[in-house]
Structure 1
Amino acid sequence: MDALSVVSQLRDLASEPQNREAIVQDKGCLPGLVLFLDHCNPQVLHCALQALRYLAEYPSNREIMKNELGMMVSLESLQERNHTSEDIRVLATEIYELLKKPVQTAKVRINNSSSTKKVQAQFFINSTKKKAKTITLQIEGLHNMDNRSICEEALLKVNGVISFTFQMALQRCIIRIYSDLKTESVASAIAATKILQAHQVVKTESGEEVVVPLNTSTAKVKENFNLPDYLPEDEKPEKEHHKAISRTGAKEDTNGTWFNAAANFLTKTFYW
């Protein structure tokens, strides 16, 4: 199990709301995520920020996260670091502002589910000056971890992609991008891999999902060129990916074997 495997699986677990409190309460996972904020691999750093962004959406987690040793200092450093990509600075800023903001009790009736959803959605909206939007892509060829890594590298190079989460069982990717970035440009970057093809998933007025083809032939992609070199691909043992106890969309108990394995890895790798 390597750093990228651990942080990617933590990110995927954190994308499920029912897992967020357990991850923060775990004695090894949250300190490990903080230490990953100083990692030299931009993929590891980006995944760690995505995981922390999800965890910070849960209001009761924020006080614990804010008081975690090194959390706020690392986030401040990422915001001020000149050679860091804009996407990483945006995520660091979002997390920092969420943790600094006092938790307000929303005046919503418990039985009013629609109002509750609106309040929860506000924690996910980009809190920086530049507006963001979320798109869902159905990706042909996203059927194994090698192709997922290829897709990650393609998305990290697109200027305007803020964060993304994979749903491997559905071969989908949920992506947060700047509002001025066209969906076709993201699909074009994915198509440039020559082995993946992306289509957009949209909902009709009746709530049904429809897969819409995207024209990638004329879309222009503005790339990030200030990302550090990635770690060698052979540092990611493929067999280890089967050790996660929960996948995106699963609802198993997340306090068991996988958390222990991740905590043991973090303990052996870092000293705190």
Structure 2
Amino acid sequence: DKTVLQFLAYSLDSEDNEITEASLKTIELLVHNNRNHNILRSTFGVSEALKATSEREGLDDVLKSLAQELIMKLEDAPAFHTRYRSMKLNSEQSQPIPRKLSSKVYSFHIFGLNEDTRKNVESAVIRIRGVISVIIDTGHQRCVVRVMENITPQILTEHIAKETKLEARLILRNKFRQEVLVDLGKSENGGGDNGTEDANLPEYLPEEESPVKEKALYSFGRLRTSAASWVRTATSLFQNSFYW
């Protein structure tokens, strides 16, 4: 992500040595992966920021040395990267293409979620193996979680309750596109698919079908006879009402 790289380059100019050190070490981790070399070199400001950091007055010599080392690694990257791409092509030809893992997004309403409990909820969720990202909205007491497809919403709600003592309910939409809160703790033994929008909706009274009255049925033959009778009546009326 070039936006992240540009932010790291911007952070290198910070007057706080801890921020500069953290930015350098982050870039160092990216440099260790050879596939990142081209994007690091092509992102505007990264090489320039590293050079300025290596020459900055008053900066710790260790940080200057690290910046210079990163510059040298990026400058030597093309030849190695070309060799790496050749090795990668040969490897891809001999190995089957791995299956891409899919993810799911779940939205929860967490009772008691506020600025005081936000950190606890966030920490509890991100510790679950298979969680990809977490978005917290304390204003609406919402928590949106992206997880691997093997993680069920029950796992998330149970872990939140265990770690934070807060009640989380899954947000679904019914057939009228209205949001409903589903208590997964009470619906574990119930039937139905959790992925459907009509899951765990309130029960409605059964619709009693009123008996069909015989008078309500009108056969096509009777309708045709009635129409013929109506035409004869209208014809007779015209004949009796006018003089010819």
Query: Which of the five TM-score ranges fits, normalised by the shorter chain?
Result: 0.3 to 0.5
| Greater length-normalized contact order (CA 8 Å, ≥ 6 residues apart) | 1
The alignment's TM-score, normalised by the length of structure 2, stands at 0.39
The alignment's TM-score, normalised by the length of structure 1, stands at 0.35
